[in-house]
Amino acid sequence: MRNYIIRRVALLIPTFLLLTVLVFLLIRLMPGDVIELMVMQHSHEQAGQTQVDIDAIRSMVGLDKPFMTQYWDWLKGMLHGDLGSSYWTRRSVTGDILGRLPVTFELGFLAFLIAQIVAIPVGILAAIRQDSPGDYIVRSIAILGVAVPSFWLGTMVMVFPSIWWGWSPPERYIPLTEDWWLNLQQFLIPATIIGFGMAGLEIRMLRTTMLDVLRQDYVRTAWSKGLRERTVLVRHVFKNSAIPVVTIIAGQIGVVIGGAVILENIFNLPGMGRLFLDAINSRDYPYITGMNALFSIFGLVMILITDLSYAWLDPRIRYR
Amino acid sequence: MTEIPVTAGNHAPKRRSSAADFVIRLVKEKPLGTLGAIIILIILFAALGANFIAPYDPLQSSLRDKLQPPSVTHPMGTDNLGRDLFSRIIYGARISLYIGLGASVINVIVATLLGLVSGYVGGWIDLLLHRFVDLALSLPSLIILITLVGILGSGWLQITLIMGINGGILWTRVVRSSVISIRENTYVEAAKTIGGNIWHIMRRHILPNIMPVMIIIFSVSIAGNIMAEAGLSFLGLGVPPPTPSWGGMLSADGRRFMYEAWWLAVFPGLILTVVVYGVNMWGDAVRDLLDPRLRGGIGRYGTRIKVKVNKIELIKNHKQE
């Protein structure tokens, strides 16, 4: 098991380096860079911009150095927790990200919680009552959860309560420490929408694998031993169905982050998703590079945890 | 998850059934898949014949008719510039389908090429490709798409290519694992023994056998691609306006007017949901019909645990929002 872990961790490093080099290269290869945008904005304020100014700004943000030097500096900074500073405002990228992190984390955590609370019991019920009306209803709703775009659902929730009852979610973001009740009101709807999308996939997955496991010989043995239904379902069936579901859950992190980008946009929450979109729109490259690096570290660690829990749940993988 | 063998054992690949056979089985065994196929055909028809079907020019604004509720003359109402929403949705089908189908074609091409190389040749190429796969897996697709569109600029060509390549890399694993299972067959061994070179073996022995996988990848990835395009357009990173796209109609610019005009919020999202639902059903049906390991009883083909893993791979790739 230890060798397995070491090998898996060692393989993460080249992947991470590959990502950062790719993002770095792509950004610097592209024409029409941020400097021209900045000069254009400046020239609104004062006429007579010259090549000198462009060069001055370029060296101010460090884009005049050779590529490898830039990359190396960035990598060193990152290992010290410094992701550089904004081209426009000179604010620290790390500071900004840390400031926004709690919002996205809360959103993601709530969404995850909602998805699990819904998906696990519903998935189990759909499997043990296969082909019952309940099963059909659950399956149709689960498929809808995958087919309904989160941005449409979010838009509808914004628009219709406002038309019918004149109700709309609070405009201003209220931190958890200020008023937890208002804060929860603000987060619950977007979190439910993300959670709904997650649950849809998970229910389908859980149902399929449960049905597989329910037909296994050892489950028949468990029944014929006279075990209680609860024991058979939880100890024998659910535990064995959990393995594929765990992989799905890790993949869901992508759904959460993607959902956060979209729903923070709709519901006016100042989280990482909004920060990311703003950075893209203003071509503030240190943010784009930094957040991509952060997301991918997060994703790689999730992949690792999945693989490890996989190995932990299924000894056949561990001992191969 | 990089080390898990994905395919079932060394079952001899079955003869492919003819197209007619496939249609008959689709209609007989998969009512929802048939419904999906019908939805796709209708939308395809609308997209191709938009010039003839749409009652109005989707770009023609007439401020006199702005924000009209649905009526006989404007079945889905008009938007803030007085453009007919029904016509815009019909034209929007073009963007959705062209980009969705185009990206899916590229998905298949990229996944097949990379999967063939990494599965058959293996070695350091395989190792390198796996890093790319891990990379694409580690980041949410939406983040990758936004980043690349942000850097490369937004236009239908860029979006199609970006979605095609990104998705293709993710699907590589599925192709790779079927290539590996086919590679172990005696007939490949025999072809090698009589001196068949690598291109010959790939073209004559491997490629025909991964055809079902290629068709599955194409069908299953359409829904995700359509959804991704709509998401990008919603965020203002898709095909630039005034070109009508379903996601774009729901974006922030449109949202301001939805409080007075509910139809602007309902119809584009509704049609998108119906199409994604239909395409999803179609993809599922194609997968079930073409993949012998997923058909019918468990354990008939290969061992059980391997069947399960294969399903995970397919379902996991299924969501590419």
List CB contacts (< 8 A) between B250 and chain A.
151-152, 155
Report the first-to-last Cα separation within chain B, whole angstroms. Answer: 20
Interface probe for B, chosen from A283, A296, A298 (most Cβ of B below 10 Å), is A296
Structure tokens at B146: 């936004």
Residues composing chain A: 320
Record: contact A258-B255, CB cut-off 8 A: no
Q: Say if residue A242's pLDDT is above 90.
A: no
In which band, very low, low, confident or very high, does the pLDDT at B103 lie, cut at 50, 70 and 90? Answer: very high
The closest CB to that of A295, out of B140, B265, B318, belongs to B140
Record: contact B143-A244, CB cut-off 8 A: no
Q: Which residues contact B295 (CB under 8 A, 6 or more apart)?
A: B288, B289
The closest CB to that of A30, out of B152, B298, B319, belongs to B152
For the stretch B259-293, pLDDT in tens is: 777 888 888 889 999 998 888 888 878 877 776 55
B84 forms beta bridges with: B78
**What local confidence, expressed as pLDDT, does residue A150 receive?**
87
A254 touches chain B (CB under 8 A): yes
Closest residue in chain B to residue A273, using alpha carbons only: B143
> What's the mean pLDDT in A183-199?
86
Euclidean distance between CA atoms B79 and A253, whole angstroms = 36
For chain B, count helices (H), then strands (E).
14, 0
B204 touches chain A (CB under 8 A): no
For the stretch B37-67, pLDDT in tens is: 898 889 888 888 878 877 777 777 777 777 7
Could you tell me which of B120, B67, B65 has the C-alpha nearest to residue B262? B67
Could you tell me which of B305, B302, B280 has the C-alpha nearest to residue B293? B302
| Domain limits, chain B | 29-290
Residues B173 and B313 sit within 8 Å (Cβ to Cβ): yes
Residues A196 and A145 sit within 8 Å (Cβ to Cβ): yes
Structure tokens at B5: 């063998």
> What's the mean pLDDT in B65-83?
76
Q: Say if residue B9's pLDDT is above 50.
A: no
Q: Which of A151-165, A253-267, B8-22, B132-146 has the lowest mean pLDDT?
A: B8-22
B78 forms beta bridges with: B84
Percent helix, percent strand, percent coil in chain A, to nearest 5: 80, 0, 20
The residue whose two tokens read 């990089």 is B2
Structure tokens at B293: 């390991």
Note the ipTM here.
0.82
Q: Say if residue B244's pLDDT is above 90.
A: no
Report the first-to-last Cα separation within chain A, whole angstroms. Answer: 10
Min Cα separation A153/chain B (Å): 8
Record: contact A26-B308, CB cut-off 8 A: no
Record: contact A152-B258, CB cut-off 8 A: no
For the stretch A66-114, pLDDT in tens is: 778 888 888 888 888 777 777 777 788 888 888 888 888 889 999 999 9
Q: Say if residue B256's pLDDT is above 80.
A: no
Under DSSP, is residue A92 helix (H, G, I), strand (E, B) or coil?
strand
Min Cα separation B200/chain A (Å): 33
- The architecture of the domain spanning B29-290 is Orthogonal Bundle (1.10)
A37-40: long-range pairs with CB below 8 Å, 24+: A37/A282, A37/A283, A38/A87, A38/A88
Share of chain A above pLDDT 90, in %: 2
Sign of the dihedral defined by the CA atoms of residues B23, B39, B170, A314, in that order: negative
Q: Say if residue A20's pLDDT is above 50.
A: yes
In which band, very low, low, confident or very high, does the pLDDT at B160 lie, cut at 50, 70 and 90? Answer: very high
Min Cα separation B138/chain A (Å): 4
Residues B239 and B103 sit within 8 Å (Cβ to Cβ): no
Interface probe for B, chosen from A107, A159, A216, A313 (most Cβ of B below 10 Å), is A159
Establish, for the pair of chains A and B, how many residue pairs have beta carbons separated by less than 8 Å: 182
**What local confidence, expressed as pLDDT, does residue A244 receive?**
73
Closest residue in chain A to residue B260, using alpha carbons only: A163
Q: Cα–chain-centroid distance for residue B105?
A: 8
Euclidean distance between CA atoms B136 and B139, whole angstroms = 6
Q: Say if residue A231's pLDDT is above 60.
A: yes
Euclidean distance between CA atoms B7 and A314, whole angstroms = 18
Euclidean distance between CA atoms A115 and A146, whole angstroms = 13
Q: For A96-281, which CATH class?
A: mainly alpha
Q: Which residues contact B237 (CB under 8 A, 6 or more apart)?
A: A280, B145, B146, B149, B150, B154
Count other Cβ atoms within 10 Å, centred on residue B296. 9
The residue whose two tokens read 């059934």 is B17
Q: Whole-model pTM?
A: 0.81
Residues B227 and A128 sit within 8 Å (Cβ to Cβ): no
Amino acid sitting at position B44:
L
Under DSSP, is residue B78 helix (H, G, I), strand (E, B) or coil?
strand
For the stretch B204-220, pLDDT in tens is: 888 888 888 888 888 88
Euclidean distance between CA atoms B25 and B27, whole angstroms = 5
Under DSSP, is residue B282 helix (H, G, I), strand (E, B) or coil?
helix
Q: Which residues contact B189 (CB under 8 A, 6 or more apart)?
A: none
**What local confidence, expressed as pLDDT, does residue A319 receive?**
57
Q: What would the 3-class secondary structure string for B124-190 be?
A: HHHHHHHHHHHHHHHCCHHHHHHHHHHHHCCCHHHHHHHHHHHHHHHHHHHHHHHHHHHHCCHHHHH
Closest residue in chain B to residue A163, using alpha carbons only: B259
Record: contact A162-B259, CB cut-off 8 A: yes
Taking all residues of chain B, what is their mean pLDDT, rounded to a whole number? 79
In which band, very low, low, confident or very high, does the pLDDT at B162 lie, cut at 50, 70 and 90? Answer: very high
**What local confidence, expressed as pLDDT, does residue B164 receive?**
94
Closest residue in chain A to residue B140, using alpha carbons only: A254
> What's the mean pLDDT in A33-60?
64
